[in-house]
Structure 1
Amino acid sequence: MGKLTPTNPMLPVIQAEEDVLTRLKEFVQDKEAFSPNTWRQLMSVMRICHSWSTENSRSFLPMLASDLRDYLNWLQENGRASSTIATHGSLISMLHRNAGLTPPNASPLVFRAVKKINRVAVVTGERTGQAVPFRLEDLLELDALWSGPASLRQKRDLAFLHVAYSTLLRISELSRLRVRDISRAPDGRIILNVSYTKTIVQAGGLIKSLSSQSSRRLSEWLSAAGINAEPDALLFCPVHRSGSATFSITRPLSTPAMESIFANAWRTVGAAETLSPNKGRYKQWTGHSARVGAAQDMAGRGYAVAQIMQEGTWKKPETLMRYIRNLQAHEGAMTDIMEKNTLDHNNTK
């Protein structure tokens, strides 16, 4: 008989690690399958979770169910909102699936931990945060102040706010709009061809039309900035301190720059004092404010939930309902019954 070749007991482990590395490399190569914001969130969660795992001598990948339970509890103990903790759990699960590993979230241990975290959050008074709404009356007040002989920056900011309110687009979606995305209706109003959104990624994108007033403000900005003849130019670009527009085809306005437009608008026509912070933030208008305000204005004017969802490209009704819950609190069925009953009772006296 020939000699038996000794085998290395570590070979299966090494092979498994190589398989995981191969799948992770493929995952990174295909990162365009996900939105830039999702990828940034994943990188942030990986850094936080890896740091916690190292400091506490836990396994990061694959992560044990007991380790994930302790990690999620640690997040809550350090003041993270239940929605943020849910995002961490979801992204850790996504990382494991794409690495070809069983997500630890599938364990009843983690399921119970998440239920406990959510229950504790509710019992202790946690509330879902909401951006301060930027309403139609706010837009019209700004329009009266910033239209006419205004600075180039004010023309840009006013056009930006008109488009943000009219389209209900997220600021990341607004930043991608280009001059070539503009077409005109027979009456001259602007029609925007939005290639894709966070929830709609399909050939053809979607169409957003602007009112006559919003079309006029956008046209005034494009003319003043001198980018009408630049089809590839981004619709909203930086304005230099010298008062000239710095148009670009590759670098959209940054998130802080777009947030500053809302902050400047708040200082111009917002409340005299900063609002009480909502979950430590939302003290004034932010990048989500026009979206929230437009949804509330539509609900207040009696538009159906399905119509509002279509305008804002929401996939889940519960997401929209968080924005309009306070607005429609007085319109509940039982309130209606009680009000009518009280009115009928008083009339028969």
Structure 2
Amino acid sequence: MSELSGFNGVALSGSSDDDLTARLAAFVRHREAFSPNTWRQLLSVMRICWRWSQENKRSFLPMSPADLQDYLFHLQATGRATSTIAVHAALIAMLHRNAGLVPPTVSPDVVRARKKINRTAVVSGERTGQAVPFCRPDLNRLDAAWKNSPRLQHLRDLAFMHVAYGTLLRMSEISRLRVRDISRAADGRILLDVGWTKTILQSGGIVKALSARSSERLLAWINAAGLAGEPDAVLFCPVHRSNKITAVATEPMSAPCLEDIWRRARLQAGAGTPLKTNKGRYSSWSGHSARVGAAQDMARKGVSIAQIMQEGTWTQTQTVMRYIRRVDAHNGAMVGLMEDEDWQS
């Protein structure tokens, strides 16, 4: 189904409310106000929730607090993580707000239902998943293995790893970088002009600096691939098995192709055995691994939470604290007090 007709058809499910139809149509027309990932998630949640509503003879839009409670409990019963359930609730609320309706999430009954779901999950042992960290020693091992490789794919993957770790940019943000976004500092190191990130949308964008070694690896890839004279080319493009780039690419690589970079790196590092994790997720390095690893490395060096948040363009302190919780555990005030040599009984 087309996006607009599907949106209206699923949302209204037979309603004749012309005003509601118009508000939904306006919402769809202005979908560029949201990130592509948010929009994809919204459509996915709509389909899942609408299907449940049809099967259980419930109202979808507007959705009553009682129906939303039952839907959230249904998600819990089918094994969805609390983070996934929270996303469903947030996107259903977002749909209602943009349709000019009161979100059912404001109801005290729904608030209590979500607290019950969270409490039940935590008590039963559910833990929030976290990407396997990609830290400085991992980067050093890959650097030693690939820096002199004759294979173009290795040079690209190594440059990608250096940029990912050195900038803490998200995978999609790295994929959008182009040759024209590169400039040089006075000492020769590379500066990357990042137009926008998930959390920073402003006309000036942000500038990320690379270390001398990371700058060298990125330039080695650009020169080997012949991208230096192609300002519109994306920095990281596909490499053919013939050891050449297939063409000067102006479109970012797909997420699966970028994830393959992490998979190859994990195998090269000798850490190919999947880790046993909660709900089977994050068993190896992935698109978020460099952000987690870099945050942990900075915490080990005593970098402040505010500085780590700035480097990773995080807006929520609890996100960073979750990433570094094990690193920072032994730096607590009570541990310092108990291990103070001058502490007297």
Bin of the TM-score, shorter chain as denominator length:
over 0.9
Query: Does 2:200 align with 1:200?
Result: yes
Aligned to 2:174: 174
Query: Does 2:34 align with 1:68?
Result: no
Aligned to 2:129, what secondary structure does the other structure show? coil
Aligned to 2:289: 289
Aligned to 1:164: 164
Distance 1:26 1:249, change over 3 A: farther
Aligned to 2:227: 227
Aligned to 1:263: 263
Distance (Å, rounded) in 1 between the aligned partners of 2:17 and 2:268: 57
TM-aligned CA deviation for residue 280 of structure 1: 1.4
TM-score in terms of structure 1 length: 0.92
Letter in 1 for 2:309: M
Letter in 2 for 1:189: R
Aligned to 1:136: 136
Aligned to 2:340, what secondary structure does the other structure show? helix
Distance 1:198 1:247, change over 3 A: farther
Percent of aligned pairs sharing the same letter: 61
Kept after mapping to 2: 8 A contact 1:82/1:121: yes
Aligned to 1:241: 241
Kept after mapping to 1: 8 A contact 2:309/2:317: yes
Letter in 1 for 2:306: A
CA deviations on 1:254-276 (whole Å, 9 max, x unpaired) are: 11111111111101114263211
TM-aligned CA deviation for residue 277 of structure 1: 2.3
Query: Does 2:247 align with 1:278?
Result: no
Query: Does 2:286 align with 1:302?
Result: no
- CA-based RMSD: 1.6
Distance (Å, rounded) in 2 between the aligned partners of 1:75 and 1:331: 38
Query: Does 2:20 align with 1:20?
Result: yes
Aligned to 1:119: 119
TM-aligned CA deviation for residue 251 of structure 1: 2.2
TM-aligned CA deviation for residue 248 of structure 1: 4.6
Aligned to 2:208, what secondary structure does the other structure show? strand
Moved more, 172-181 or 266-275: 266-275
Distance (Å, rounded) in 1 between the aligned partners of 2:274 and 2:42: 33
Aligned to 1:327, what secondary structure does the other structure show? coil
Kept after mapping to 2: 8 A contact 1:234/1:247: no
Distance (Å, rounded) in 2 between the aligned partners of 1:77 and 1:293: 34
Distance (Å, rounded) in 1 between the aligned partners of 2:48 and 2:106: 21
CA deviations on 1:205-249 (whole Å, 9 max, x unpaired) are: 000000111001110111111111111111111111222113455
Distance (Å, rounded) in 2 between the aligned partners of 1:150 and 1:297: 31
Letter in 2 for 1:171: M
**Structure 1 residues not aligned, in runs of 5+:** 1-13
Kept after mapping to 1: 8 A contact 2:337/2:343: no
Letter in 2 for 1:271: A
Aligned to 1:188: 188
Aligned residues: 332
Kept after mapping to 2: 8 A contact 1:233/1:247: no
Aligned to 1:48, what secondary structure does the other structure show? helix
Aligned to 1:40: 40
Kept after mapping to 2: 8 A contact 1:182/1:190: yes
Aligned to 2:278, what secondary structure does the other structure show? coil
TM-score in terms of structure 2 length: 0.93
Aligned to 1:10: none
Distance (Å, rounded) in 2 between the aligned partners of 1:250 and 1:43: 28
CA deviations on 1:178-202 (whole Å, 9 max, x unpaired) are: 0110000111111000000000000
TM-aligned CA deviation for residue 21 of structure 1: 1.1
Aligned to 1:55: 55
Aligned to 1:227, what secondary structure does the other structure show? coil
Aligned to 1:143, what secondary structure does the other structure show? helix
Aligned to 2:11: none
**Structure 2 residues not aligned, in runs of 5+:** 1-13
Distance (Å, rounded) in 2 between the aligned partners of 1:91 and 1:279: 23
Distance (Å, rounded) in 1 between the aligned partners of 2:272 and 2:162: 23
TM-aligned CA deviation for residue 279 of structure 1: 2.8
Distance (Å, rounded) in 2 between the aligned partners of 1:107 and 1:183: 52
Distance (Å, rounded) in 2 between the aligned partners of 1:69 and 1:272: 42
Aligned to 2:80: 80
Distance 1:258 1:87, change over 3 A: same
Aligned to 1:279, what secondary structure does the other structure show? helix
Distance 1:249 1:243, change over 3 A: closer
Kept after mapping to 1: 8 A contact 2:62/2:101: yes
Distance (Å, rounded) in 2 between the aligned partners of 1:272 and 1:42: 34
Aligned to 1:93, what secondary structure does the other structure show? helix
Distance (Å, rounded) in 2 between the aligned partners of 1:199 and 1:43: 22
Could you say which structure has the larger radius of gyration?
Answer: 1
